[in-house]
Amino acid sequence: MPYSARITSAFPPSRHRLRLRAGRLLAASIMGCACAAAVAAPYPDRPIRMMIPFPPGGPNDVLGRLLATEVGKDLGQPIVIENKGGAGGTIGADMVAKAAPDGYTLLLGGTASLGIAPSLYSRLPYDAVADFAPVGMVGTSPSLLVVGARQPFRDVGDLIARAKAAPGKLNFASAGVGTPTHLAAELFKTMAAVDIVHVPYKGGGPALNDLLAGQVEMYFSGIVAAVPLVNQGSLRALAITSDQRSEQMPDVPTMSEAGLPGYEIQNWFAIFAPAGTPQPVVDRLNKSLARFLALPAVRSKMRELNVDPRSSTPQELAAYQGKELRKWSALVKQAGITPE
């Protein structure tokens, strides 16, 4: 072997060969990662946690457990309910906002935590828009404008006429300052141009008790609590706050039909994930949610809960939430409520 050849073979590989080898190793690494991703288990591959930001037993909890059972079946993984009530639903919502954006923590949110709260709390620990990824709507539930059965008002026109004739003499109950029951009446006051006095209570139960006792004249009650009392004759329903009549109470007119065109307030329920959740995961959840809402048995059960099933895309939910945020913000300012 020539001396020059022996000298060349004794030296380390050239830079060119090193670069070539490094390129091959990098390509192999990339291919390996791609293969690993291809064979990785599809979402979901473990149980999912769904936060319900209210105590067990209420309408949010009942609806959430129905959803968890059926959507879990479609996803092939159980959905575990976690109730974390307090502060109008904001404690549970905040926990989801700060969770890992991997699709394994979800929120059954809605009116209180992601609609009204941003206008009520100046130090809200989360951004109701920026910190969440909308997944899809679940349903809406209207309220009923109810009066005691012994009150003389037969319809909304009677109530407005009496309020105009005696400004500041009629009272309306609410479940607390800034609650939907309060803000629904504030919208009524504005649209009807009447002066009625707010009497806040610590919850819907005490408000209904004083309405039944005749201590207050009117109340915008959640439909779930009001329907049994209306059916037994203890309360009279004057109007429903949705834009369409309820299948459960077809004889009760909407507020628009009763004389206040354009009046609409509804509680809404929707699924959200933490911001940054991958879009394929959001799409998978939305698909399962749509299947859930199409099941006849589910739709029947939801109507028993006085919740109207309502499906949507993530984009439609985002637009709906934006509209709700603007509406509630205006009502809070109109009511003169100072954010805490």
Residue-wise pLDDT tens digits, 79-105: 999 999 888 789 999 999 999 999 999
Would the pTM of this model clear 0.85, i.e. be above it? no
Rounded CA-CA distance 97/282 in Å is 15
Instruction: Tell me whether residue 250 is in a domain.
Output: no
38 in a domain, yes or no?
A: no
Per the DSSP assignment, residues forming a β-bridge with 198 are 172
pLDDT at 55: 83
Which pair of structure tokens corresponds to residue 118? 């941003």
CATH of the domain at 151: 3.40.190.10
In a domain, 40, yes or no: no
134 and 156 together in one domain? no
Q: What angle do CA 112, 110, 209 make, to 5 degrees?
A: 50
Is residue 162 domain-resident?
yes
- Mean of pLDDT values over 57-67: 89
Do 227 and 183 lie in a common domain?
A: yes
At 16, is the pLDDT very low, low, confident or very high (cuts 50, 70, 90)?
very low
Q: What is the rounded CA–CA span in Å between residue 278 and residue 201?
A: 43
318/6: higher pLDDT: 318
Residue type, 332: V
Could you tell me if residue 295 is inside a domain? yes
pLDDT for residue 302 = 93
pLDDT of residue 40: 54
Last residue of a domain, one of 201, 223, 240: 240
Same domain, yes or no: 236 and 149:
yes
Q: Shortest CA distance to 200 belongs to which of 334, 335, 298?
A: 335
Domain that holds residue 180: 142-240
Please return the burial class of 16, using the count of CB atoms within 10 Å of its CB with bins 0-12, 13-18 and 19+: exposed
Cβ neighbours around 129 below 10 Å, total: 14
Are 94 and 178 contained in the same domain?
A: no
Average pLDDT over residues 251-278: 96
- Give me the CATH number covering residue 314: 3.40.190.150
Q: Are strands 308-309 and 132-148 parallel, antiparallel or unpaired?
A: antiparallel
The answer to the question of residue 328 being in a domain is yes
Tokens of 103: 């699709």
- Would residue 101 count as lying in a domain? yes
- Residue among 226, 245, 223 nearest 235 (CA): 226
Q: How many structural domains comprise the chain?
A: 2
Task: Please report whether residue 63 resides in a domain.
Answer: yes
